[in-house]
Amino acid sequence: MKILVTGSSGLVGTALVEELKQVGHTVLRLVRPGSIRSSSVTEGFDVEWNPVTGGLGGAAVGADAVVNLAGASITGGRWNEERKKILRTSRVDATDSLVNSLARMAVRPRVLVCASAIGYYGNRGDQLLTEESAAGAGFLPDLARDWEASARKAEAIGVRVVCARFGIILAKQGGALPQMVRLFKLGVGGKLGSGRQWMSWVTLTDTVHVVRLAVENAAVRGAINVVSPEPVRNVELTKALATALYRPAIFAVPEFALKLAMGEAAGELLLSSQRVLPAQLEKLGYKFTHSELGSALRATV
């Protein structure tokens, strides 16, 4: 298959491009003007894409699939109005532009897999959440809902759409885990707030495998929770990581301290509770490489 990928330099994008190339797909990395890196057809190459104007390089013609992973980092700073605008523009507006670009193609890709996040569900306490659960309230739920709505516009032009709601991705290359590991190695790791909030996680390996499944399997469509089948409370995650690193987990970061340091982002990213299940993946019979937290952390760190 000929596959277009946005956000190819990010945590998931980098691993996904490598995986797709290894199994024989041709990968075209959609990059902003002036960011072209290479032109090797065998290894994948860059195609210019302007998310503002919708301009798309001619090499994209004939693509079978698109994976949209573009978006500014959620943890890249305090959520003031300027930062929120960047987060929204890089996701919702950019996806609108991408779908418009696909609509102008004479022959369109068969599938669009668009990133989303379990932040869609908001703070839901102990409630079990599946793809059928409603969106929550707050900045992240609003952002995820609008992001998915932009992607689903491609259905009107005959493209199968999959919205991959990523959980907390465990990877040594990036994301939240390296920062947590650093604290534990300094001997100051511990639970966040009460530690009672549910955290739904997934390894980078399974994340990449699920995205590939969504590209290759025509039966996959709509929202899909990319999380392991065993969500845990924050205090359990803390203890499991401490065990994997042979470090103590005796410290706790008070809720007020997190909010003082991060503002609104602390409440929605670190303190909100999302007990999410991969209902659609289980229906598809997907077999997780890592479904148990302890083994996942040992394999990762």
Cα distance between residue 122 and residue 37, in whole Å: 38
Write out residues in the chain with pLDDT < 70, as ranges: 37-44
Token code pair at residue 174: 């990036």
pLDDT tens readout for residues 17-39:
999 999 999 999 999 887 776 54
pLDDT tens readout for residues 81-94:
999 999 999 999 99
What residue ranges do the domains of the chain occupy? 2-171+201-227+277-289
Level-2 CATH architecture, domain 2-171+201-227+277-289: 3-Layer(aba) Sandwich (3.40)
Please give the model's pTM, rounded to 2 decimal places.
0.93
Cα distance between residue 262 and residue 75, in whole Å: 9
